[in-house]
Amino acid sequence: MKPVHYERLGETIYRETLPNGLKICVIPKPDHAKKYAFFATRYGGMDIRFQLNGRWLDTPAGIAHYLEHKMFDTKEGNALQRLAKNGAEPNAFTSNAMTGYYFDSTSHFDENLEILLSFVSVPYFTGESVAKEQGIIAQEIRMIEDNPDWQIYARMLRALYSVSTARTSIAGTVESISRITAETLYDCHKAFYTPSNMILTVVGNVDPVKVSDLARRILPKEGGPVIPRDYGSEPEAVGAKEARMAMEVSSPQFLAGWKCRPVPEGEERLRRLILGSLACDLLFGESSPLYQRLYSQGLVNSSFGGDFEQMPGVAFLYAGGESKEPHTVANELQKEADRLIREGFDEDYFQRALRSSFGSSLRGLNSFENIAVSLTEGCFGGFDPFRFPQIFDAVTQEDILNFLRDNMTADRAVLSEIVPKEA
Amino acid sequence: MTRTQLAGGVFLTHLPAKKFKTNLLSAQFVVPLRWETASANALLAAILRRGTASCPDMGALAARLDQLYGARIDYTVRKKGEAQCVGFVASLIDDCFAPGSERLLEPAAALLGELICRPVTRDGLFLEEYFESEKTNLIDAIRSILNDKRSYADSRLLQEMCTGEPYGVPRLGNEQITAALHPQLLFEAYRDLISTSRLEIFYSGSAERSRVEDALRAALEGLPRKDLVPLPELAPHALPEEPRFITERLDVTQGKLGMGFSCGSDDAAAMLLGNTLFGGSSNSKLFLNVREKLSLCYYASSLFHRQKGLITVSSGIEFENYQKACGEILTQLEAVQKGELEAWELEAARSTLLNAYASMGDSQGKLENFFLGQAATGRDETPEMLAEQIRAVAPERIFEAMSTVKLDTVYFLQGKEAEA
C-alpha cells in the first residue's frame, strides 16, 4: 500500500490496485472510534443496456437497485443480522452510476469487513426470494412517488434529457420491476460485481495492510472484462422546456435546470465539479445579491438551493425550492446569469466566495461517508478529490464566466414545477 | 467533557477534540414547550438571524461568514422532552486549516453573541420587513410539514395522542398562533427569552476551555440576566381507557400508519433495548416480519420517546393492508413482551445501541444534539455511562419493562378514493 500525504488537509491516503483489478483506498483516522467500510461497484440506475459475452442486453428499469436489495441474502441467512450481532450498522444505496454497500462499527472490524466483502461478491437468490422483494420495493416506489422533492427532480431530468438513461428512475416503476427475474439478476451481478469494476474504501483506525490482505483472501482472484454500456446518444437540445404536476403539497415548488456540457474522465471532472459548484454559490448562494433580493421580495425562502451534478455522459446545474412564482424566479436566475456573463463579478465578492467554498469542501472531510463516496467517484471518474485545494488556488473569474457562457444559456434551461392540487 | 457556569443561568459544555476539521459552537435557550409561546420563539430565532446592529442585513452577515472561510451559523428550533430549544449552531473550520492560520473562534463567537444580544432594530422593535417576511416564512414552514407525508403522519399521531399535553405541541407551534403575532408582542418575547431563560452553550473542537470561556464572556457581555423561569416537571402521559383510532384522507398513493403506545416503566435502559428489539433497527421484529417476511412495507420502525415514556411506530403500506399491518405490529410487540427471542436478537440489539454510543464522539453534530437533550431534560449521564447501563440489563428486565407497553392511539393516513 502506497501512502500519499495531503499536507493542506491533514490526511493520508493509502492506495493499492490488486492483481484482480480491485482498487483499495484506506484513510487512517487514529483518533476516531468509528471504522467505516464502503464497497462499491460502478453500476447504477443508468446502466440498463450493456453488452455481456458479446450480446447486448436490455434490462428492466430499477434492476441495479433491486439487485442491491437482494445482495444481503446469503446461503447462511441475511447478512444484516450477522453484521448486527457485531454492532455494525450496515446499509446500501443505489445512485445513477454506483451501488455502494457499507457499515460502520466500533468493534470486530475485520470480521465485519469479511462479511461485507463476502455477501457483496457472492450472489444467492431464488425465484421465490426475488418475488418476495417485489412487495417491499413496490412500497419504496409508492413512498418516493408521494415525495414532491423526488417528483420534481425526476421530472426535471426527464425534461433535460430525451434519450440518455439519466432520465430513468433509479428504483424503476412498479411495472418495470415486475419483469425482474433471478436469472437477470445473476447476469447483472456477473457483469458488474467483478473486482476490476469495484472500489473498496475504508476510513478509520485500521491497518491498511490488513485491509488489503483481507480483500486478497476473500475476493475472486480474477477481475472481469470491461462491460460496454449504452447510455443513449443524447442530443445537445433539451427534451422539453417545462414539466408540471399537481400534488397534495402546501405551496408550489420548482427546479430550474440547465443542461450542461458533459466532461470526459480525468482531473478536468474535478475541476468542472468545483467550477459548477462555485458558479452556484456565486449566482444564487446565500451570499449572492440575487438570493438576497429574491428572499427579501418573498419570492424564495430558506428552502431555496441548488447544485451542479455529473453523471456518465451528462452534467446539469439546478436551483429551486418553494416559491409562489416559480416562473418569475426562473427568469430572474437566467437574467442574472446573462448579466454576469456580460459584466463579470465584483472581484472582492469573487474572492470571498472562493474562500467560503474552500471552507465548505474542508468541512465535508468530517464525514467518513462523504470521504468514501467522493474517493469512489474519483476512482470511477479518473480524478483525486483530495486535490481540491490545488484546484481552488488556480480558479479565476474567467473560468467561472466561461462555465456560465458554455452552460447557462436560455436555450439549455428547463423548468420543473409541482403545484398544489385544487381542493 | 466539562460543564461549567459562565454567568447566571449560562452554562458551557466543553467537548475537547482535535480530530475534526471544524469547531462547533452552539448557543441554545431552553424554555418550556407551550402552544402560547412555541411559534413566537421559533419566529424570534429566524428574525435574529436576519441582521445585527453591525451586520444589519443578509448580505453583510454573509460577507462576515465568507471571510471566516465559509463559517455557517444556522438558527435551530428543537423539541427536547417538553422543552423547546431555540438558538444558533455555528460551524467554522479549525484555525490550523486557515491558510493564514488566523484565529477564527473569537470572531465567530463574537458574531454569535451579536446575533443574540444586538439585533438590528428600529424604534425599539425588530425591522417591520424582517418581522413580516419571517412570519410568512414560518407559516409556510408549518404548512410544508404536509409535503413529507411520513413526517406529517408521525407528527399528527403525536398531536392526537398527546392532546392537552406539552408533548403534543409541534416544535414550530401552529399557523393560527403565528398569524396572531405582532411586532410589540414579539419584541417583549425576545426580551423575556434572553433575560429569563437558561442558555446552554456547547463547544466541540481543538480550543482549550479557557480560550472558549474568554471568547464567550466577551461575546455575551451584553446579555441581560434576571431570575430564571424554571422548567416545569415533565407531566406523565395519560393513557385513554380504550385505544383511540383516527383516520385522515389526503390525495396520496401510499397509506401511512402510525401507532402510539404508552409505557408504564421507568427502567429507561430496559425500554431502550426493548424498543430496539421491537422496531428500532434493521434487525428488529418489525423489520424482519412486517417488511421481510410479509412484504407489507418498505419501512416499519419504532421510536422510544425516552423523556415521555412513549413508543411510536411508523410505516408506509397499501391502503387495504391496514388491518393486516396493525395486527402484525401488535403480534410482534407481544413477542417481545413474552420474551420470544432468539439469542442473536438480544445480542444484536445490545450491540447496535453500544455502537451508537461508542461512535457518538466522532460526530460534532451528534454530540451537540445529545448533550443539549441531556441539559434540557435535567440529565447528566454521558454516552459512556448510558452504554454501561445498557450492558447491565438482563433479559428479564426487558420483558418486564416492555410488558407495561399499551396501545394508546392509532393514526392512519389514507387516499381520497380508497375504501375505508
Both B35 and B91 in a single domain? yes
Buried b (16+ CB within 10 A) or exposed e, A136-162: bbbbbbbbbbbbbbebbbbbbbbbbbe
- 8 A C-beta contact, residue B235 and residue B391: no
Q: How close does chain B come to A386, measured CA to CA in Å?
A: 14
Instruction: Please indicate whether, in this complex, the C-beta atoms of B21 and A362 are within 8 angstroms of each other.
Output: yes
Query: B268-279 and B322-337 helices cross at what angle (nearest 10)?
Result: 140
On whether any CB of chain B is under 8 Å from the CB of A289, the answer is yes
Q: Is residue B229 part of a domain?
A: no
- The β-bridge partners of B256 are B316, B413
Give the closest of B18, B21, B281 to A84, CB-based.
Answer: B281
Which long-range CB contacts under 8 A does A395-400 form with residues at least 24 apart? Answer: A395/A274, A395/A275, A395/A278, A395/A354, A397/A344, A397/A345, A397/A347, A397/A350, A399/A275, A400/A275, A400/A278, A400/A279, A400/A282, A400/A345, A400/A350
Given a cut of 50, whether residue B125 has pLDDT beyond it is yes
Amino acid at B277: L
For residue B233, give the DSSP letter.
P
Q: Is residue B361 part of a domain?
A: yes
Whole-angstrom Cα distance, residue B111 to residue A357?
20
Please report the residues numbered 86 through 125 in chain A whose beta carbons come closer than 8 angstroms to any beta carbon of chain B: 86-91, 104-107
| Interface-testing mutation among B18, B72, B75, B97, with chain A (most A C-beta atoms within 10 A) | B97
Say how many C-beta atoms besides its own lie within 10 A of residue B67's C-beta.
16
Whole-angstrom Cα distance, residue B169 to residue B158?
8
Query: Could you tell me the three cell numbers for B205?
Result: 473542537
Give the closest of B70, B356, B363 to A355, CB-based.
Answer: B70
Unique residue bearing C-alpha cell 453583510: B60
Set of chain B residues whose Cβ sits within 8 Å of the Cβ of A139 = 254, 296-298, 316-318
Both B171 and B273 in a single domain? no
Both B200 and B275 in a single domain? no
- 8 A C-beta contact, residue B58 and residue B12: no
Query: Could you tell me the three cell numbers for B5?
Result: 457556569
Give the pLDDT band (50/70/90) at residue B420. very low
Average pLDDT over chain B, rounded to whole? 95
User: What pLDDT, on the 0 to 100 scale, is given for residue A89?
Assistant: 83
Say how many C-beta atoms besides its own lie within 10 A of residue B221's C-beta.
10
Whole-angstrom Cα distance, residue A261 to residue A124?
41
Given a cut of 50, whether residue B29 has pLDDT beyond it is yes
Predicted complex ipTM: 0.91
Whole-angstrom Cα distance, residue A12 to residue B54?
42
Q: Which one, of B106, B168, B177, B186, lies nearest residue B139 by Cα? A: B177
Unique residue bearing C-alpha cell 493499492: A16
Residue A145: strand, helix, or coil: helix
Q: Which of B186, B219, B252 is the last residue of a domain?
A: B219
Spell out the alpha helix ranges (H) of A254-315.
Answer: 267-284, 289-296
Query: Could you tell me the three cell numbers for A344?
Result: 463579470
A114 annotated active-site? no
On whether any CB of chain B is under 8 Å from the CB of A143, the answer is yes
Please report the residues numbered 19 through 58 in chain A whose beta carbons come closer than 8 angstroms to any beta carbon of chain B: 29, 31-34
Amino acid at A233: S
Q: Is residue B357 part of a domain?
A: yes
Unique residue bearing C-alpha cell 459548484: A277
Q: Is residue B225 part of a domain?
A: no
Which domains does chain A show, CATH number per domain? 2-218 (3.30.830.10), 242-420 (3.30.830.10)
- 8 A C-beta contact, residue A252 and residue A420: yes
Both B33 and B73 in a single domain? yes
Q: Is residue B237 part of a domain?
A: no
The chain A residue lying nearest B17, using CA atoms, is A31
Mean pLDDT of B10-27: 97
Counting DSSP H helices and E strands in chain B, the numbers are: 15, 13
Contacts of A242 (CB under 8 A, 6+ apart): A159, A414, A415, A416, A417
Q: Is residue B163 part of a domain?
A: yes
Residue B232: strand, helix, or coil: coil
Q: pLDDT digit string (tens) for A244-298? A: 999 999 999 999 999 999 999 999 999 999 999 999 999 999 999 999 999 999 9
Mean pLDDT of B51-60: 96
Whole-angstrom Cα distance, residue A132 to residue A128?
6
Both B205 and B112 in a single domain? yes
User: What pLDDT, on the 0 to 100 scale, is given for residue B244?
Assistant: 97
How far are the Cα atoms of A391, B86, B341 from residue B76, in angstroms, in the given order?
34, 6, 41
Set of chain B residues whose Cβ sits within 8 Å of the Cβ of A203 = none
On whether any CB of chain B is under 8 Å from the CB of A153, the answer is no
The chain A residue lying nearest B57, using CA atoms, is A292
Both B192 and B293 in a single domain? no
Q: Is residue B14 part of a domain?
A: yes
Query: Residue A177 half-sphere exposure, CB side, CA atoms within 13 Å?
Result: 28
| Domain span holding position B323 | 244-414
Both B264 and B212 in a single domain? no
Both B278 and B211 in a single domain? no
For residue B30, give the DSSP letter.
E
On whether any CB of chain B is under 8 Å from the CB of A356, the answer is yes
The chain A residue lying nearest B254, using CA atoms, is A142
On whether any CB of chain B is under 8 Å from the CB of A129, the answer is no
On whether any CB of chain B is under 8 Å from the CB of A68, the answer is no
- Three-state DSSP string of A319-356: EEEECCCHHHHHHHHHHHHHHHHHHCCCHHHHHHHHHH
Contacts of A36 (CB under 8 A, 6+ apart): A102, A103, A104, A202, A203, A204, A368, A369, A372
Q: pLDDT digit string (tens) for B171-183? A: 999 999 999 999 9
Query: B268-279 and B395-402 helices cross at what angle (nearest 10)?
Result: 80
Both B31 and B148 in a single domain? yes
Domain total of chain B: 2
Given a cut of 50, whether residue B286 has pLDDT beyond it is yes
User: What pLDDT, on the 0 to 100 scale, is given for residue A9?
Assistant: 95
Mean pLDDT of B330-338: 98
Contacts of B308 (CB under 8 A, 6+ apart): B81, B82, B162, B167, B234, B237
Whole-angstrom Cα distance, residue A374 to residue A379?
9
Given a cut of 70, whether residue B419 has pLDDT beyond it is no
Whole-angstrom Cα distance, residue A254 to residue A304?
9
Give the closest of B91, B144, B359 to A251, CB-based.
Answer: B144
pTM score > 0.90 for this model? Answer: yes
Query: Could you tell me the three cell numbers for A360?
Result: 465548505
Instruction: Please indicate whether, in this complex, the C-beta atoms of B352 and A87 are within 8 angstroms of each other.
Output: yes
Q: Is residue B19 part of a domain?
A: yes
User: What pLDDT, on the 0 to 100 scale, is given for residue A422?
Assistant: 79
Q: How close does chain B come to A291, measured CA to CA in Å?
A: 9
Mean pLDDT of B264-279: 97
Both B194 and B270 in a single domain? no
Q: Which one, of B329, B323, B297, B290, lies nearest residue B311 by Cα? A: B329
Question: B29: domain CATH number?
Answer: 3.30.830.10
Instruction: Please indicate whether, in this complex, the C-beta atoms of A362 and B62 are within 8 angstroms of each other.
Output: no
Query: Could you tell me the three cell numbers for B251?
Result: 390525495
- 8 A C-beta contact, residue B314 and residue B255: no
Query: Could you tell me the three cell numbers for B76?
Result: 435551530
Both B320 and B279 in a single domain? yes
Which residues of chain A are modeled with pLDDT < 70?
A: 423
Query: Residue A158 half-sphere exposure, CB side, CA atoms within 13 Å?
Result: 14
User: What pLDDT, on the 0 to 100 scale, is given for residue A54?
Assistant: 92
Q: pLDDT digit string (tens) for B202-249? A: 999 999 999 999 999 999 999 999 999 899 888 889 889 999 999 999
Both B111 and B250 in a single domain? no
Beta-sheet pairing, A23-28 with A198-204: parallel
Q: pLDDT digit string (tens) for B375-384? A: 999 999 999 9
Which secondary-structure segment (H or E) carries B198? Answer: strand B198-205
Which secondary-structure segment (H or E) carries B370? Answer: helix B364-376
Set of chain A residues whose Cβ sits within 8 Å of the Cβ of B137 = 301-302
Catalytic residue among A68, A234, A336, A417: A68
* Nearest 10 degrees: Cα torsion B285, B289, B291, B293: 150
Q: Which of B219, B235, B256 is the last residue of a domain?
A: B219
